[in-house]
């Protein structure tokens, strides 16, 4: 199936590793030109080289997306190189965990600053370029915590639920301009970050990280955790011409973990 992505100009935030890197490579395999951005330059250069090898054209911009200046730099460099932006995949950002009974509100601010505010800034900056062609795709990665708060994940949950609300509002604002805005909400996915989060528990229990992740996966209806490439596959579809009638939606890719309806 031709997804119509050859030559499209994409920006992937958080593109140096994990889900973001897989998204960048997925777009590259369809012939897209992909700018990856994150804070660590060395990892970005590795990702850029992989994009080229995958059949796309890579570009990398190390930047701090917690500031408007950092976001603007990424967009300006992409536009300067390729004369526009067609696709934005917002995948940057995480948040520290803290029990709600001891949670400093500053930790919530940190999560909002990178994820929610960073996503919004990037969208605001690329939308004028998309409007010129009356075509654009914005895909936000929000994580399932937005709909599944626990006493320990409130900073992450708050930043994710803000993304879900922002997705709907942005979609309403730009759908008439040929721009589709949607969100994917992954559950725990087999990335390096997932491994890092379980490392202390593995050491305490004398088990391997792989054993713990497998145990978590077996509790899901799917019976396993997602691979990052599976999330990326859906991102690539949402970013494509084949996706033409999905507006302001949030798709849960969590192996059936979410119990709420809808």
What's the CATH code of the domain at 87? 3.40.50.720
3-state class (DSSP) for residue 256: coil
Task: Give pTM, 2 decimals.
Answer: 0.95
Verify that 74 and 195 share a domain, yes or no.
no
Verify that 112 and 170 share a domain, yes or no.
yes
Instruction: Extract the tokens encoding 177.
Output: 């301009």
| Mean per-residue pLDDT of the chain | 94
What confidence tens digit (pLDDT) does each residue in 108-161 have?
Answer: 998 898 899 999 999 999 999 999 999 999 999 998 777 778 898 898 899 999
What distance in Å separates the CA atoms of residue 123 and residue 143, rounded to the nearest whole number? Answer: 18
Verify that 86 and 203 share a domain, yes or no.
no
What confidence tens digit (pLDDT) does each residue in 235-258 have?
Answer: 999 999 999 999 999 999 999 988
Total number of domains in the chain: 2
What confidence tens digit (pLDDT) does each residue in 184-202 have?
Answer: 999 999 998 888 888 888 8
- In the predicted structure, residue 214 carries a pLDDT above the cut 90: yes
Q: Assess if residue 166 is contained within a domain.
A: yes
Cα 232 to chain centroid distance, Å, stands at 9
Which residues share a beta bridge with 34?
Answer: 10, 58
Instruction: Extract the tokens encoding 152.
Output: 């320990």
């Amino acid at each position: 199936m031709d997804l119509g992505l050859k030559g499209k100009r994409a920006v992937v935030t958080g593109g140096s590793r994990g889900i973001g890197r897989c998204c960048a490579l997925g777009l590259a395999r369809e012939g897209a030109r992909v700018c990856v951005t994150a804070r660590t330059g060395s990892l970005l250069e590795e990702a850029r080289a992989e994009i080229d090898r995958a059949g796309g054209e890579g570009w990398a911009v190390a930047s701090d997306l917690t500031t408007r200046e950092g976001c603007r730099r990424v967009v300006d460099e992409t536009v300067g190189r390729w004369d526009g932006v067609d696709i934005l995949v917002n995948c940057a950002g995480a948040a520290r965990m803290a029990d709600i009974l001891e949670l400093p509100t500053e930790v919530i601010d940190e999560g909002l600053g990178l994820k929610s505010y960073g996503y919004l800034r990037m969208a605001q900056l690329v939308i004028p370029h998309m409007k010129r062609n009356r075509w654009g795709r914005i895909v936000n990665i929000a994580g399932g915590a937005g709909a599944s708060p626990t006493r320990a994940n409130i900073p992450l949950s708050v930043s994710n639920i803000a993304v879900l609300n922002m997705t709907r509002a942005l979609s309403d604002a730009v759908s008439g301009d040929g721009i589709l805005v949607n969100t994917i909400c992954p559950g725990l996915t087999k990335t390096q970050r997932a491994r890092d989060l379980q490392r202390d528990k593995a050491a305490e229990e004398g088990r391997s990280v792989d054993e713990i992740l497998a145990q978590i996966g077996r509790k899901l209806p799917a019976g396993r955790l997602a691979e990052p490439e599976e999330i990326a596959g859906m991102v690539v579809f949402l970013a494509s011409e084949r996706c033409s009638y999905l507006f302001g939606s949030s798709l849960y890719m969590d192996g059936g973990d979410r119990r709420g309806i809808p």
